[in-house]
Amino acid sequence: QVQLAESGGASVQSGGSLRLSCAVSGHPSRNYCLAWVRQVAGKERELVASIFNTGGINRHYGAPAQGRFTISQDNSKNNVYLEMTNLRPEDTALYFCAAGPRIGHSLCNRPADFDAWGQGTQVTVSS
């Protein structure tokens, strides 16, 4: 069973940067998607970025993340990272690390694609 543990959330000023980390355990298969998903209280979860390997690394970014956030994976440490720059108050949310098997030609671009979740790490951006 895949287990995920996030860290790195903090309170920052608008325009600042943060790096979130996710420790992945449970030996997910090579055909697994990993992602960062965020949620604001009272709203649906929103995919921030996902990554999977099909012989080459594939990344997908949600609209708010494009051009500002970068997802990466360190296979030697079984960690997934989210580098966030130029943070805005609307980025304030609970950020979850998520994992799920890649089925068919899925782009792993929806929260419903994932069946394992961490506890979340809070990111707060003040103006």
How far apart (Å, rounded) are the C-alpha atoms in residues 123 and 84?
10
Tell me: pLDDT of 29 over 80: no
Backbone angles phi and psi of 107, in degrees to 5 = -90, 0
How far apart (Å, rounded) are the C-alpha atoms in residues 48 and 20?
12
Tell me: pLDDT of 126 over 80: yes
pLDDT tens-digit profile of 42-53? 999 999 999 998
Tell me: pLDDT of 28 over 80: no
List beta partners, residue 94: 39, 122
pLDDT of residue 62: 95
Report the SS3 class of residue 44.
coil
Mean pLDDT across the chain: 93
Q: What does each C-alpha distance from 38 to 29, 81, 103 come to in angstroms?
A: 24, 14, 22
